Amino acid sequence: MSDLRIAVLGVGMMGVFHVEALTKRIRGAKVTVISDFFDSKAQEVAAKIGARAVVDPIEAINDPEVDAVLIATPGKAHDEQVNACLNRGVPVLCEKPLTTDVGSAYRIVQKEAGLGRALIQVGFMRRFDPEYIALKKLITEGGLGNPLMLHCTHRNPAVPDFFNSEFAMRDSVVHEVDVARFLLAEELTSVQVLKGSATKSAPEGTSDPMLVVFETESGRIVTDEIYVRTGVAYEVRTEVVGERGSAMIGLDQNLQVKTTDGRWGGRLTPSFVERFGAAYDTELQRWVDAARAGTIDGPGAWDGYAAVAVCEAGAEAVRTGAKVTVSMQPRPGSAASATSDGSEPEPGITAPDLMGARP
């Protein structure tokens, strides 16, 4: 099957992030058209990846070389653009929010329902995060009994000054709104905001942090501490408190569960697939990219030889019980210099910081 030809609307930070993924890591996709409010930005990004820049986003949506649309424009532009996608009947991945007011959002829902076909996907990407998936699975399979409360924490190290209390609600809390709906599988019915002492980093009139309290259809309580100027790091934590145990994600230590046998802990990695599956993919992608350029990008023949030499000595040590000296030939010079040590981080992902292990 030929690649999906995608128009990306809006190439600010998120748009560029998506263009890079679609160009370097995602299989079966091709960005053919770029559009942005600033046409020069669109042209710059398009030039890098061999796509076309189109000034009018609606024209981009209707381009005959476009099979699907990714919308990363500001929220105000979404209504018209999503509607244009529905009009043409092309799949669209729309960054949150769907639109900026309830009326237009509902009209889109109705319109899509009238088409009888799911065309619109909204960018709540936490549903694809392994920790949220594991937490959802734990709830669904009854591991916590009936979930009674949900505690969310959303902390950003810093945001610009225009990020006021209402903006925080629409831009950050919106993620927890979807997380709560996703995990509890019901709608939220009320919301209350408790504003306490604000950090000095917040502009006059902005409440930061805030405590947001939701109720759900069935009467569950969902709390969300939203604090976007912590100066610390990006911290997103979710705890589900159930009738038969509780579980927390976001501790930088994977999913941890407390159960009615009085234990806390997590599941050990069951096999190499879970532990090193991503490393295998990275290895393959980098090897494929290097092989297309006629070289390698990882441990080479010398590394293979050295391992054989040591393990051969090791096998003798197993048999004899003695200390065995490893004997190695000199390393030939020519190919060596081309041998990467594989220590560079995966392309397209920011280099892991000194002590951070998460890719």
253-280 as b/e, with b when 16 or more CB fall inside 10 Å?
A: eebbbbeeeeeeeeeeeeeeeeeeeeee
How near is the Cβ of 84 to a copy of itself at its closest, in Å? Answer: 14
How near is the Cβ of 40 to a copy of itself at its closest, in Å? Answer: 25
User: Cα–Cα distance between 178 and 170 in angstroms, integer?
Assistant: 12
Judged by CB under 8 A, the stretch of 39-47, 51-59, 337-345 that binds a copy of itself is: 337-345
Judged by CB under 8 A, the stretch of 32-40, 41-49, 58-66, 331-339 that binds a copy of itself is: 331-339
Nearer to a copy of itself, 39 or 285 (CB): 285
Q: How far is CA 225 from CA 113, 168, 193, in A?
A: 35, 11, 10
Residue 354 carries which DSSP code? T
Residue pair 229/212 in contact by the 8 Å Cβ criterion: no
Q: Which parts of 76-115 interact with a copy of itself (CB under 8 A)?
A: 91, 93-94, 96-102, 105-106, 108-110, 112-115
User: Cα–Cα distance between 180 and 187 in angstroms, integer?
Assistant: 8
How near is the Cβ of 35 to a copy of itself at its closest, in Å? Answer: 18
Q: Which parts of 133-172 interact with a copy of itself (CB under 8 A)?
A: 133-138, 140-141, 143, 146, 148-149, 151, 155, 157, 165-166, 169-170
Pairing mode, strands 4-9 and 245-249: unpaired
- Positive or negative torsion for Cα 34, 37, 39, 41: negative
Q: How far is CA 21 from CA 81, 166, 314, in A?
A: 22, 31, 43
Q: Which parts of 178-237 interact with a copy of itself (CB under 8 A)?
A: 178, 181-182, 185, 187-201, 207, 209-215, 218-221, 223, 225, 227, 230-236
Nearer to a copy of itself, 44 or 67 (CB): 67
- Binder to a copy of itself among 128, 162, 204, 205 (CB under 8 A)? 128
Helix (H, G, I), strand (E, B) or coil at 4: strand
Of the candidates 122, 334, 223, 345, the residue with the CA atom closest to the CA atom of residue 354:
345
Nearer to a copy of itself, 52 or 229 (CB): 229
Residue 169 carries which DSSP code? I
Judged by CB under 8 A, the stretch of 35-43, 56-64, 129-137 that binds a copy of itself is: 129-137
Q: How many residues bind a copy of itself (CB under 8 A)?
A: 216
Q: Does 328 bind a copy of itself (CB under 8 A)?
A: yes
Site string for a copy of itself, 271-310 (x = CB under 8 A): xxxxxxxxxxxxxxxxxxxxxx-xxxxxxxxxxxxxxxxx
- Binder to a copy of itself among 27, 40, 204, 205 (CB under 8 A)? 27
Residue pair 178/186 in contact by the 8 Å Cβ criterion: no
Phi-psi region of 290 (alpha: psi -120 to 50; beta: other; left: phi over 0): alpha
Tokens of 94: 């729309």
Of the candidates 214, 217, 213, 215, the residue with the CA atom closest to the CA atom of residue 187:
217
Q: Which parts of 31-60 interact with a copy of itself (CB under 8 A)?
A: none
Nearer to a copy of itself, 55 or 284 (CB): 284
Nearer to a copy of itself, 87 or 260 (CB): 260
